[in-house]
Amino acid sequence: MHAKWIASLAIAAALGGALPAQQGVAVKRITPANSRFSSAIWAGDTLYLAGQMASPMEGKPTVYGDTKTQTLSVLTKIQSLLKEQGLTMGDVVQMRVFLAADPAKGGKLDFDGMNEAYDQFFGTPRQPNKPVRAAVQVAALVQPWGLVEIEVTAVRSR
């Protein structure tokens, strides 16, 4: 298998960098009406879920909470979106977390708060799987109240 990959890279280099296209992968886009982008895309057995942000706290339409609260909200939303597609948090193989500094913490990043919420969904006795993950600090998110945005890739197990 390794030799085939090296041969493919050599052929790709000779052709100007193009790798051979994967044949027969079904692609299904889930795009809400009036949206500028797909909320999710299936490519074969892989689901790419667009970045998700927190929902307002119940009963408080303009309150989104701190980093931990927003992370819990986002991961709960992701869990629901995965369930709609027949997947679970255990199917998540990759996660990208975008974190903005929390003004209530003196403008510092609350990485610990994000991890406290994350630990409720991954690496638990009930759901032991952990995805590969990148967490990056950003200057700001698209919503002024946003402290956390998370995107995931999940794979349907066979």
CATH code of residue 151: 3.30.1330.40
Q: Does residue 5 belong to any structural domain of this protein?
A: no
Does residue 73 carry a pLDDT above 90? yes
- What integer pLDDT is reported at residue 21 of this predicted model? 54
**Structural domain count, the chain:** 1
Task: Spell out the alpha helix ranges (H) of the chain.
Answer: 2-14, 67-84, 111-118
Residue 112: which domain range? 24-155
Q: Does residue 17 belong to any structural domain of this protein?
A: no
pLDDT in tens, 18-63: 445 557 889 999 988 888 899 999 999 999 999 999 999 887 878 8
Q: Residue type for 81, please?
A: L
Does residue 16 carry a pLDDT above 60? no
Q: Does residue 148 belong to any structural domain of this protein?
A: yes
- What integer pLDDT is reported at residue 158 of this predicted model? 77
Among the residue ranges 24-28, 82-86, 88-92, 122-126, the one predicted with the least confidence is 24-28
Among the residue ranges 2-16, 28-42, 51-65, 98-112, the one predicted with the least confidence is 2-16
Q: Does residue 46 belong to any structural domain of this protein?
A: yes
Among the residue ranges 4-18, 34-48, 54-68, 143-157, the one predicted with the least confidence is 4-18
Q: Does residue 109 belong to any structural domain of this protein?
A: yes
Q: Does residue 54 belong to any structural domain of this protein?
A: yes
* Strand, helix or coil for residue 41: strand
Q: Angle at CA 47, nearest 5°, toward 114 and 85? A: 90
Does residue 9 carry a pLDDT above 70? no
pLDDT band at 4 (very low <50, low <70, confident <90, very high): low
Of 121, 142, 126, 124, nearest to 78 by C-alpha is 121
Burial track 137-150 (b if 16+ CB lie within 10 A, e otherwise): eeeebeeeebbbbb
Strand partners, 60: 57
- Taking residues 92-120, what's their average pLDDT? 96
- With a pLDDT cut of 70, the percent of the chain lying above it is 86
Q: Does residue 12 belong to any structural domain of this protein?
A: no
- With a pLDDT cut of 90, the percent of the chain lying above it is 73
If one compares 1 and 140, the residue with the highest pLDDT of the two is 140
- Model pTM above 0.75: yes
Q: Does residue 4 belong to any structural domain of this protein?
A: no
